[in-house]
């Protein structure tokens, strides 16, 4: 049995092309999910959910900002998907997610009841720590990739 008998079209994707296709699908899925989340964030108060307080209106602007920049970043990555640019977009979107989470932590527009609010604050604190670490890591990766891209550009004849 030869390789072409498993693939009747004779068309194969090399691993690099497969990774690019996977990233493209990932960008599209991220855009769709972010659009859904943006819609949900803007309508939470309209839905009269018992655990969302009116102070959500004090936090929704930063959630909208974070999600909008994520949508724009993923759309830009569909058009220009270079490693240095991808790392830069990751840093910016992670930093804005940190900002949005911090603002939600400060405003705390939730009311899960007295016994659960402390736990929710603790969970948000853990999320903040994780996002702070992720922001530092993505910043370092972006700087390293920008330096590599610059070095490749300089070293080319």
The tens digit of pLDDT for each residue in 81-125 reads: 999 999 999 999 999 999 999 999 999 999 999 999 999 999 999
Cα distances (angstroms) measured from residue 30 to each of 64, 84, 86, 111: 15, 19, 14, 29
Extents of the domains making up the chain: 13-155
Is the pLDDT at 2 greater than 80? The verdict is no
Give me the pLDDT at residue 84, please.
Answer: 92
Give me the pLDDT at residue 50, please.
Answer: 96
99-124 in b/e form (b: 16+ CB < 10 A) is bbbbbbbebbbbeeeeeeeeebeeeb
Give me the pLDDT at residue 6, please.
Answer: 56
The tens digit of pLDDT for each residue in 116-150 reads: 999 999 999 999 999 999 999 999 999 999 999 88
Q: SS3 helix, strand, coil % of the chain, rounded to 5? A: 80, 0, 20
Give me the pLDDT at residue 10, please.
Answer: 56
Of 95, 105, 112, 110, nearest to 127 (Cα)?
105
Structure tokens at 137: 């890591």
Give me the pLDDT at residue 14, please.
Answer: 84
Give me the pLDDT at residue 11, please.
Answer: 59
Is the pLDDT at 12 greater than 90? The verdict is no
Residue range 46-74: mean pLDDT, rounded: 97
Residue range 56-82: mean pLDDT, rounded: 97
Give me the pLDDT at residue 35, please.
Answer: 98
pLDDT over 90 percentage in the chain: 82
pLDDT over 70 percentage in the chain: 90
């Amino acid at each position: 049995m030869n390789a072409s008998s498993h693939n009747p079209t004779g068309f194969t994707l090399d691993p690099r092309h497969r990774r690019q296709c996977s990233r493209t699908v990932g960008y599209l899925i991220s855009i769709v999910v972010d659009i859904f989340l943006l819609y949900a964030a803007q309508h939470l108060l309209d839905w009269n959910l018992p655990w969302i307080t009116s102070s959500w209106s004090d936090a929704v602007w930063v959630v909208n900002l974070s999600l909008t920049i994520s949508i724009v970043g993923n759309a830009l990555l569909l058009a220009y998907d270079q490693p240095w640019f991808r790392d830069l977009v990751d840093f910016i979107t992670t930093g804005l997610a940190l900002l949005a989470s911090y603002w939600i932590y400060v405003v705390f527009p939730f009311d899960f009841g007295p016994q659960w609010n402390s736990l929710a604050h603790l969970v948000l604190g853990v999320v903040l720590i994780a996002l702070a670490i992720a922001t530092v890591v993505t910043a370092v990766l972006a700087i390293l990739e920008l330096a590599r891209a610059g070095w490749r550009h300089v070293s080319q004849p």
